[in-house]
């Protein structure tokens, strides 16, 4: 008799962004486990060759040095992950190795990997947090060498300071060495109107430059959110950033020091700008000195500040963009921190005080004029009080400010809105809808069900004295008489529940709720939307999904199999990514997969086709986006795209919109070979509000 293992079924809630309804799905009771494994992000680190090689070099070098001094070597590996650092340590001669991992699925996988590499009985694996380990119970003795990787983009965001402090106090000997040994954090003060768009609200002006809407004082005077804006900084257009200072060393963290690391520090640094400008923001990154002699350096600097840029440039392929010459990693990026109130520096007044702060997990920055009473000044971590910065994502804030995009909407509005217009605006935080009032509309109703978004819109309405604007929490609040009187229904559209570009098709779903009560002559904008796709070759982004079978000579195929299974169970076929940060070459012309007209949104659609991958390259992904057609004209100036900002040319790198996230389907590495045909299908079911994509590689 054959016996098969059957898991219990479990119900799981999911918000469907196309209709904002909560759906109940039936999954195996292991679904949460698989989701945790699939999203853990260990694979990205294991593809970081520089990181892996330098860890291996320094572990070997350090253990050899300790051996030469007659020491036994007892290693503790905190947050072992796959066990790779533990295996390195034992392979090059450690006497004992203890590894700990609190993420149980990963710990179980590490246990199997250690056995597969014949280290199972020689590395002690503890499945708990290092702060819960007790000497004499979990560990036989204290370790004299700590190898760990518990850092993130902010360096300290994963609780590294507390972990190091606890380890030195409880788990390490008096003179224990640490790998990495020391970290240095850098700040560079920069002016950038482009980057500042992610944190501020600009004036909204018409096509003639006349002001339509002014930000309210509570938004203008708000300090904003201090939270990190992690970013692939090397991809920022150099002509859009203006460094005012050189990179400045702001803090060091000595990980080998037995004395506790301060978990909260503040420092004021007198800085002289080498060019006048506005202190809009701080670029932040760090480097680590891997060994106790501080000879091996790993830097997370953007390419223009990277200490090894010239050397790496000589060794790189001439086809590789300069922005991608330095080692790529998505687990350690760079960060932007926005200055609450920037200073305007002049040639004669170019010195200022840079105020740098960190607590146990995060950073914040400020600037003060160069005055004696400011040198001892400190600032608490600021917070958004206007609700604008905490309601909308960075990309949405930038989108609201995007001049070229707004021009296309305003051109449509100026040509269509008149004194007899009654307008319904569907979407969250649609200030373009408020502009209808400034353009002379008789009445404007804005559908704003979200409390904080409604608060922001109310502040704009009141400050700009838009007396004919009404904010409604629910469409049910609109009487039939009002709905029948509407001349226009407009949207960008944008909804807070949207993640992928087509999630904003929720606009069509809302229309179906009121369609029977509308005047048949009402104008709807956008009139339609199309989803486009193009097969691409990513330079790096595909690595977050690429298999990891081997790393520095160690067999990690069990890890790959575990992640592969979990991804097949829990991962969506299409993910959202800001593709301007991740260069890719087009391997074919873009193809329209689906077009919906919002007046006929209730029609189901099923399309399929194929794309010939005609350019040489590795087809490791498909990029998807939405174009919104504001009217029926077909005029390119009436199209707003969430995808490329210039025509796609096969074989060349795509220029993506910087204020939206596009969809990405990753091609399995086993299929991603040259000369393929990409088969695709898309099914749209309006009543259930489901949109499903399928992609498959067919070899020629």
Q: Per residue in 152-187, pLDDT tens?
A: 999 999 999 999 999 999 999 999 999 999 999 999
* Residue-averaged pLDDT of the chain: 92
Whether the predicted pLDDT of 3 surpasses 50: no
Instruction: Give the alpha-carbon dihedral of 550, 554, 556, 557, to 10 degrees.
Output: 70
Give the pLDDT band of residue 5 (cuts 50, 70, 90): very low
- The one-character DSSP state at 582 is S
Distance of CA 207 to the CA centre of its chain: 33
d(CA 453, CA 302) in angstroms, rounded, equals: 35
* Predicted pLDDT at 6: 44
d(CA 99, CA 103) in angstroms, rounded, equals: 12
Find all residues with CB under 8 Å of 621, minimum gap 6, and list them: 535, 536, 537, 538, 541, 542, 584, 664, 665, 666, 667
Residue found by looking up tokens 């990154």 in the block: 285
d(CA 15, CA 113) in angstroms, rounded, equals: 37
Domain covering 183-246+265-283+321-374 in this structure, CATH number: 2.70.160.11
Name the nearest CA neighbour of 573 among 21, 38, 166, 28: 38
CATH architecture of 394-525: 3-Layer(aba) Sandwich (3.40)
Phi, psi (degrees; rounded to nearest 5) at 44:
-55, -45
95-99, 461-465, 668-672: lowest mean pLDDT where? 668-672
Q: Give helix then strand counts, H and E, for the chain.
A: 17, 38
Whether the predicted pLDDT of 544 surpasses 80: yes
Give the pLDDT band of residue 18 (cuts 50, 70, 90): confident
Name the nearest CA neighbour of 686 among 606, 601, 598, 594: 601
Question: What pTM does this model have?
Answer: 0.93
Q: Do the beta carbons of residue 25 and residue 14 sit within 8 Å?
A: yes
- pLDDT, average across residues 674-691: 86
3-class secondary structure, 352: strand
CA angle 532, 536, 541 (to 5 degrees): 110
Q: Do the beta carbons of residue 17 and residue 527 sit within 8 Å?
A: no
265-269, 444-448, 689-693: lowest mean pLDDT where? 689-693
Whether the predicted pLDDT of 23 surpasses 70: no
Q: Do the beta carbons of residue 213 and residue 464 sit within 8 Å?
A: yes
Give the pLDDT band of residue 687 (cuts 50, 70, 90): confident
Q: Do the beta carbons of residue 523 and residue 416 sit within 8 Å?
A: yes
CATH class, domain 528-541+570-698, is mainly beta
* Predicted pLDDT at 4: 41
Q: Do the beta carbons of residue 126 and residue 96 sit within 8 Å?
A: no
Terminal CA-to-CA distance of the chain, rounded, Å?
44
Sheet of strand 265-272, all strands in order from the earlier edge strand to the far edge: 265-272, 351-358, 363-369
Instruction: Say how many C-beta atoms besides its own lie within 10 A of residue 536's C-beta.
Output: 30
pLDDT digit string, tens, across residues 503-537: 999 999 999 999 999 999 999 999 999 999 999 99
Phi, psi (degrees; rounded to nearest 5) at 654:
-90, 135
Residue found by looking up tokens 């962004």 in the block: 17
Q: Do the beta carbons of residue 371 and residue 386 sit within 8 Å?
A: no
Domain positions in the chain are 9-40, 43-179, 183-246+265-283+321-374, 394-525, 528-541+570-698
Residue found by looking up tokens 């010459």 in the block: 325
| Superfamily the domain 43-179 falls into | Vaccinia Virus protein VP39 (3.40.50.150)
Find all residues with CB under 8 Å of 216, minimum gap 6, and list them: 386, 459, 460, 462, 463, 464
Indicate if the alpha-carbon torsion angle 122, 126, 129, 135 is positive or negative.
negative
* Predicted pLDDT at 1: 35
Whether the predicted pLDDT of 32 surpasses 70: no
- Helix%, strand%, coil% for the chain, nearest 5: 30, 30, 40
pLDDT digit string, tens, across residues 604-650: 999 999 999 988 888 999 999 999 999 999 899 999 999 999 999 99
Cis check for the bond before 180: say yes or no (omega within 30 of 0). yes
Q: Do the beta carbons of residue 680 and residue 594 sit within 8 Å?
A: no
Q: Do 43-179 and 394-525 fold alike per CATH?
A: yes
Give the pLDDT band of residue 27 (cuts 50, 70, 90): low
45-49, 545-549, 643-647: lowest mean pLDDT where? 545-549
Element spanning 510, H or E: helix 506-514
234-248, 259-273, 562-576, 598-612: lowest mean pLDDT where? 562-576
* Predicted pLDDT at 419: 93
What are the residue numbers of the active site? Answer: 149, 158
Q: Do the beta carbons of residue 13 and residue 26 sit within 8 Å?
A: no
Indicate if the alpha-carbon torsion angle 42, 43, 44, 48 is positive or negative.
positive
């Amino acid at each position: 008799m054959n016996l098969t293992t059957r898991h219990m079924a479990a119900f799981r809630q999911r918000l469907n962004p196309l209709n904002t309804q909560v759906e109940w799905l039936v999954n195996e009771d292991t679904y949460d486990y698989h989701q945790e494994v699939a999203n853990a992000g260990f694979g990205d680190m294991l593809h970081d060759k520089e990181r892996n090689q330098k860890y291996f070099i320094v572990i070997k070098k350090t253990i050899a040095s300790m051996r030469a001094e007659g020491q036994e070597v007892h290693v503790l590996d905190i947050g072992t992950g796959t066990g790779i650092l533990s295996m390195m340590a034992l392979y090059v001669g450690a006497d004992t190795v203890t590894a700990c991992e609190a993420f149980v699925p990963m710990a179980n996988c590490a246990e199997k990997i250690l056995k597969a590499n014949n280290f199972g009985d020689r590395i002690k694996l503890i499945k708990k947090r290092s702060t819960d380990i007790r000497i004499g119970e979990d560990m036989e003795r204290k370790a004299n060498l700590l190898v760990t990787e518990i850092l993130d983009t902010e360096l300290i965001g994963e609780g590294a300071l507390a972990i190091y402090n606890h380890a030195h106090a409880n788990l390490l000997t008096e003179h224990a060495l640490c790998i990495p040994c020391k970290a240095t954090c850098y700040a560079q003060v920069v002016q950038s109107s482009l980057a500042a768009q992610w944190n501020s609200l600009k004036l909204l002006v018409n096509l003639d430059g006349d002001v339509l809407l002014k930000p309210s004082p509570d938004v203008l005077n708000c300090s904003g959110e201090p939270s990190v804006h992690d970013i692939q900084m090397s991809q920022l257009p150099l002509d859009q950033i203006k460094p005012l200072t050189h990179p400045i060393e702001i803090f060091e963290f000595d990980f080998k020091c037995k004395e506790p690391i301060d978990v909260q520090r503040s420092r004021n640094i007198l800085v002289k700008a080498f060019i006048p400008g506005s202190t809009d923001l701080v670029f932040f990154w760090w480097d680590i000195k891997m060994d106790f002699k501080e000879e091996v350096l790993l830097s997370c600097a953007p390419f223009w500040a990277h200490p090894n840029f010239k050397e790496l440039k000589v060794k790189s392929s001439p086809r590789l963009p300069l922005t991608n010459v330095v080692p790529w990693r998505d687990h350690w990026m760079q960060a932007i921190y926005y200055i609450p109130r920037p200073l305007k520096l002049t040639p004669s007044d170019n010195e200022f005080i840079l105020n740098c702060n960190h607590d146990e997990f995060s950073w914040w920055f400020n600037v003060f004029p160069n005055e004696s009473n400011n040198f001892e000044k400190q600032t608490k971590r600021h917070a958004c009080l206007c609700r604008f910065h905490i309601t909308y994502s960075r990309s949405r804030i930038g989108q609201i400010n995007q001049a070229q995009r707004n021009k296309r909407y305003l051109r449509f509005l100026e040509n269509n809105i008149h004194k007899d217009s009654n307008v319904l605006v569907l979407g969250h935080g649609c200030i373009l809808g408020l502009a209808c009032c400034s353009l002379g509309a008789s009445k404007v109703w804005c559908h704003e069900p979200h409390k904080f978004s409604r608060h922001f819109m109310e502040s704009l309405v009141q400050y700009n004295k838009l007396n004919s604007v009404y904010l409604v929490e629910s469409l049910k609040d609109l009487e039939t008489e009002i709905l029948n009187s509407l001349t226009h229904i407009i949207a960008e559209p944008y909804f807070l529940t949207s993640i992928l570009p087509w999630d904003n098709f929720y606009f069509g779903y809302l229309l179906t709720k009121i369609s029977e009560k509308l005047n048949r002559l009402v104008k709807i904008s956008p009139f339609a939307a199309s989803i486009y796709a193009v097969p691409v070759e990513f330079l790096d982004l595909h690595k977050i999904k690429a298999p990891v079978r081997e790393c520095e000579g160690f067999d990690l195929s069990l890890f790959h199999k575990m992640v592969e299974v979990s991804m097949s169970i829990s991962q969506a076929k299409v993910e959202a990514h800001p593709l301007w940060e991740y260069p890719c070459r087009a391997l074919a012309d873009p193809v329209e997969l689906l077009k919906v007209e919002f007046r006929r949104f209730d029609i189901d659609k099923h399309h399929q086709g194929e794309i010939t991958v005609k350019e040489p390259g590795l087809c490791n992904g498909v990029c998807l986006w939405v174009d919104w057609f504001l009217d029926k004209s077909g005029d390119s100036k009436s199209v707003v795209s969430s995808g490329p900002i210039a025509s796609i040319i096969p074989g060349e790198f795509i220029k993506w919109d910087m204020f939206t996230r596009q969809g990405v389907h990753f091609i399995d590495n086993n299929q991603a070979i040259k000369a393929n045909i990409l088969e695709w299908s898309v099914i749209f079911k309006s009543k259930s509000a489901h949109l499903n994509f399928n992609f498959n590689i067919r070899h020629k």
